[in-house]
Amino acid sequence: MADGTQVRIPLSQLARGQRAVVECAALDALPIDHKCLLAAMGLGESCQVRVCRPGSPCIVQVDQTRLGLPRSLADKIFVTPLDGGT
Amino acid sequence: MTPRAVTSRVPRIALLGNPNTGKSTLYNRLCGLRTKTANFPGSTTEHQVGRCAIGPGADAEIIDLPGIYSLVLEIPESRLCRDCLEGKIGDGRPDAALVVLDANNLPRHLQFAASALRRGIPTVVAINMIDTAKRRGLSLDEHAASMELGVPVVAVSARSGEGIDRLREALAGVTAPDAARPLPRLPLPDTEIGSSAAVRWAAEVFGTIASHPRTDDEDGRTLRDRLDDAFTHPVAGILVFAVAMVCLFAAIYWLAQFPMDAVDGTFAWLASGVEAIVPPGVLQDLLVHGVVGGVAATVVFLPQIVLLFFLLSLLEDSGYLARAAFAVDRVMRRVGLPGQAFMPLLSAHACALPAIMSTRLIPNPRDRLATILVCPFMSCSARVPVYVLLISLLFVGEPLLAGLAFTGCYALGAIAALGTAKILRVTTLRGPSTPMVLELPEYRLPSVRTAVGVAIERGLLFLRSAGSVILSIAIVMWWLSAYPKAEADPRSESLRQQAAAHSATDPSRAEGLEGEATRLDARRQQAESFAGRLGSAFEPIFAPIGLDRQLTVAVLTSFLAREVFTTTVFVLAGAGDDARVDQPSTLDALKHSQRDDGTPVFTTATAASLLVFYVLAMQCLPTLVVVARETGSWRWPLAQLAYMSLLAYFAAWLTFRCLA
């Protein structure tokens, strides 16, 4: 970012191939059971994700795990983009 | 407990792991066919228990727990695993745990292993799919892994069998009587899976025990990306799914007909064998029509059930099914059901029983219950003979209209199912659905061995859960229809005498007279049996939808299984119980059959009303039994029976009023 601040955007707004880091408080907006399930599936705080397919379902890769999420859920997960997508 | 009892008891090992780790494949590899479905004592929750050889003459009992992502989640599967490990259900704490990890996903799976190890049970860790991980460049140091985790670690490939013998040895080691030693204090993270501390710990351990594999985290689109795009696309995804399902059900219909014919033939042979051995009378009647007939009515569904689960397991193992669930999710959400509900609803077109059993794939209990409750609306294969019979009566010589009516029956069933699902989700089963988050496993060649294991397990479960109750009720229904024995109709005696007189000169006339005599006797038996008396008692209830006493008996006796309706009306019409719908003489006999007052049994309004009734009514005892089994109580199946019966009755009444 030009001004040095990092922009937090919903996961659903990332482009195909774009990488981002899930923020620590990014999952706080979710009900606790959704948050725990996502974390147990690998989508936890500070993890790095890559978008394989934007839209619904939003398919992301976390390490070697590929997860499909409905767009409604991806809208509520805030991430900090690391690079541009394709 | 005496020391001898302790040493002679077969050790119990809990099998734990994430979904998609090849846990079922490993279970099948370890136990083979030595497996059974059991309930935890005092609970209705089923699980698989298998015997696994862990040394010469030594066995262990493997408890196959459901695949879970975490032991602390407040979902039924996680709770079950926790309770099992803590000894709250079953026969106390298991003697050991076997934790299965995916070698391709070790950093995340190591966190799961840590949470399991914190439970303090002697444990063996199996790192599965080591063959594919090696191909991707993973190099694993088992010894280092054992040192880091403080428990035996064995790299295995459940699919190829690599490492299985060493795994058996490790299991023998931790379950040996002298192996009860405290676990070493390990620097396991105190926090749960996904926390920063757990992620850091797992990364450190992974760095120590394995070399990093090549990742497929490339920037370009991989083949997997392209397939994911196609299979989850709103249009292409649905089209691919439709083609896959057509192939699946065509294969089931085509392949199942051979074993079904064999089952039919076997039971017919058995019945004739009993008739040859047991002298005519009550016992023969009971054995042939009650016991053999009742068992045959259940077992005939078995080929479809086994085939469906075999093919579904292949699809699931290939990785496709998780993508297909997303393709249909957006459609299903509109009626309040998740994407995972589509497969059970579709398979209910073959038979509701395996469909209801396959709803276990749906994680949210409300979603699952709603799906179970609407599955029986889908037109199953047992409805087809009834549809064919009634549509043939309605549209004689009009194949186009008959085809449309047939399609209409299927559409009416589907509309009723989806409409009911919507009603349930805004009333009784109100509440948010869990958003469908699914791990999309890698595409791979499915394991036939696992599919066979799943098919056998589900087939045995079906026979065990449905067979005993169905057999009992089949015997009751037989008794109600067969007793008290009515005297022969006085007119049949004279008809038989006439038939005997014509037998030499005019055989076809003699056959007709004999048939008429049989019909009269059957009608008299139907009228005077307990079922017939029930028919008379219930006739006023069914009269508003156009049914007379005979059709009321046919509807009541088909409560056990709806296809019984066709047999009953054939007998009433004197066509014999081996008559077929596609025989013109049978249809002719039915069209000309008369009520007690001489009016036709089947009018357009009556046939249409009955058709609508059979599209919507439950009329399937096995389904009720399986719903009770799956929901853990008789409350839901009884409510389902009442709702479907009332809806069917009202729709049939409306149809009859419009056409009469």
Per-residue pLDDT reduced to its tens digit, B165-213 = 999 999 998 888 765 555 555 666 666 777 778 888 888 899 988 886 5
Q: Is B177 exposed, middle or buried (0-12, 13-18, 19+ CB in 10 A)?
A: exposed
Q: Which DSSP letter does residue B153 get?
A: E
State the pLDDT at residue B309: 81
In tens, the pLDDT along B290-324 reads 788 767 766 776 887 788 789 888 988 899 988 98
pLDDT at B648 over 90: yes
Q: pLDDT (tens digit, 9 = 90+) per residue, B222-268?
A: 889 999 999 999 899 989 988 887 787 678 767 877 888 888 789 88
Instruction: Tell me the average pLDDT across B156-160.
Output: 92
**Residue written as token pair 């479905």:** B37
Among the partner residues B112, B196, B228, nearest to A52 by beta-carbon distance: B228
Q: What local confidence, expressed as pLDDT, does residue B622 receive?
A: 81
B79 confidence band (pLDDT: 50, 70, 90): confident
For residue B168, what pLDDT is reported?
94
Q: Are B152 and B174 in contact (CB under 8 A)?
A: yes
Whole-number Å distance between alpha carbons of B367 and B325? 14
Which of A16, A18, A65 to mutate against chain B (most B CBs within 10 Å)? A65
Q: Could you give the residue ranges of the DSSP H alpha helices within B118-235? A: 130-135, 142-149, 164-175, 196-209, 223-232
Q: What pLDDT score does B45 carry?
A: 54
Least confident window among B67-76, B451-460, B503-512, B576-585: B576-585
- Is the per-residue pLDDT at B217 higher than 70? no
Predicted pLDDT of residue B629? 83
Cβ contact, residue pair B75, A33, below 8 Å: yes
User: pLDDT at residue B4 above 50?
Assistant: no
**Per-residue pLDDT for chain A (86 aa), expressed as one digit of tens each?**
444 456 889 999 999 999 999 876 667 777 777 788 888 898 887 888 999 999 889 999 998 889 999 888 899 888 999 875 55
Contacts 24+ apart (CB under 8 A), B45-51: B45/B76, B45/B80, B45/B89, B46/B461, B47/B80, B48/B457, B51/B10
At residue A1, the pLDDT reads: 42
List, in sequence order, every residue forming a beta bridge with B64; answer none if it has no partner.
Answer: B15, B48
- State yes or no: pLDDT of B347 exceeds 60: yes
A42 lies within 8 A of chain B by CB: yes
The ipTM value here is: 0.90
Of residues B531, B136, B440, B437, the one with CA closest to residue A37: B437
Residue B575 pLDDT grade (very low, low, confident, very high; cuts 50, 70, 90): very low
pLDDT at B353: 82
Contact status, residue B564 vs residue B557, Cβ threshold 8 Å: yes
Q: What is the predicted pLDDT for the residue at B520? A: 79
Closest CA–CA distance from residue B105 to any residue of chain A (Å): 6
User: Could you say which of A39, A47, A50 has the minimum Cβ distance to residue B217?
Assistant: A50
Contact B105 A44 (CB under 8 A): no
Query: Do residue A63 and residue B104 have CB atoms under 8 angstroms apart?
Result: no
Least confident of A24-33, B60-69, B132-141: A24-33
Secondary structure, 3-state, B309-369: HHHHHHHHHHCHHHHHHHHHHHHHHCCCCCHHHHHHHHHCCCCHHHHHHHHHHCCCHHHHH
Which has the higher per-residue pLDDT, B32 or A81?
Answer: A81
- Res. B154: pLDDT tops 80: yes
Q: B550, B595 in Cβ contact below 8 A? A: yes
Q: Which residue of A has its CA nearest to B215?
A: A64
Nearest Cβ partner for B326 among A36, A63, A68: A68
Please state the rounded mean pLDDT for residues B571-599. 63
Substitution target from B112, B115, B225 for chain A, most A beta carbons within 10 A: B225
Residue B93 has pLDDT above 80, yes or no: yes
CB < 8 Å to A25, chain B: none
pLDDT in the model for residue B125: 95
Level-2 CATH architecture, domain A9-81: Roll (2.30)
Q: Is the pLDDT of residue B568 over 80?
A: no
Q: How far apart, in whole angstroms, are the C-alpha atoms of residue B351 and residue B622?
A: 10
pTM of the complete model beyond 0.95: no
* CB-CB neighbors (< 8 A) of B199 in chain A: 44, 46-47
Give me chain B's average pLDDT, please.
83
Q: What is the pLDDT of residues B479-506, one digit of tens each?
A: 887 788 888 888 888 888 888 888 888 8
pLDDT digits (tens, 9 = 90+) for B512-558: 888 788 777 877 877 788 878 888 899 999 999 999 887 898 888 77
| B435·A34 Cβ contact <8 A | yes
Nearest to A73 among B215, B322, B437 (CB): B437
Least confident span in B10-19, B503-512, B581-590, B643-652: B581-590
- Local structure of B424: helix, strand or coil: helix
- Under the banding of pLDDT at 50, 70 and 90, the label for residue B18 is very high
Residues of B in contact with A75 (CB under 8 A): none
Over 70: is that where the pLDDT of B46 sits?
A: no
Q: What is the model's pLDDT at position B189? A: 66
Alpha-carbon distance of B181 to B188, in angstroms, equals 18
Q: Compute the average pLDDT of residues B634-659.
A: 95
**3-state secondary structure at position A62:** strand
Could you give the percent of chain B with pLDDT greater than 70? Answer: 87
Residues of A with Cβ-Cβ distance to B195 under 8 angstroms? 39, 44-45
Give B56's pLDDT tier (boundaries 50, 70, 90): confident
pLDDT tier at B396, thresholds 50, 70, 90: confident
Q: Which of A39, A66, A73 sits opposite B193 (nearest CB)?
A: A39
Burial B305-344 (b: 16+ CB within 10 A, else e): bbbbbbbbbbbbbbbbbbbbbbbbbbebbebbbbbbbbbb
Name the range with the highest mean pLDDT among B90-94, B117-121, B528-532, B643-647.
Answer: B643-647
pLDDT tens digits along B268-285: 899 899 989 999 888 888
Upper half-sphere CA count for residue B445 (Cβ side, 13 Å)? 5
Contact state of A37 with B70 under an 8 Å Cβ cutoff: yes
What local confidence, expressed as pLDDT, does residue A35 receive?
82
For the packed helices B635-659 and B621-631, what is the interaxial angle rounded to 10 degrees?
140
Interface probe, candidates B16, B138, B326, B443, chain A, greatest A C-beta count within 10 A: B326
Q: Which residue in A40, A61, A73 is closest to B217 by CB distance?
A: A61
Map out the domains of chain B as residue ranges: 9-211, 471-659
pLDDT of residue B219: 60
Residue B484 is predicted with a pLDDT of 86
Residues from chain A that touch B72, judged by Cβ atoms under 8 A, are 36
Cα A42 from Cα B313, distance rounded (Å): 25
The CATH-assigned architecture of domain B9-211 is 3-Layer(aba) Sandwich (3.40)
In total, the C-beta contacts within 8 angstroms joining chain A to chain B are 112
**At B7, is the pLDDT very low, low, confident or very high (cuts 50, 70, 90)?**
very low
Q: Say yes or no to pLDDT of B400 above 80.
A: yes
Q: How far apart are CA B275 and CA B280, in angstroms?
A: 7
**Scanning every residue of chain A, which has its alpha carbon at the shortest distance from the alpha carbon of B112?**
A40
Identify whether B122 is preceded by a cis peptide bond (ω within 30 of 0): no
Q: Is the pLDDT of residue B2 over 50?
A: no
Tokens of residue B439, six digits:
């791990």
Best to test chain B binding among A22, A34, A50, A59 (most B CBs inside 10 Å): A59
Residues of chain B with pLDDT > 90, as a percent, come to 26
Q: Which of B212, B374, B241, B379 is nearest to B315 (CA)?
A: B241
Gap from B24 CA to chain A (nearest CA, Å): 19
Domain chopping of chain A, boundaries: 9-81
What pLDDT was estimated at residue B215? 56
Higher pLDDT, B472 or A19: A19
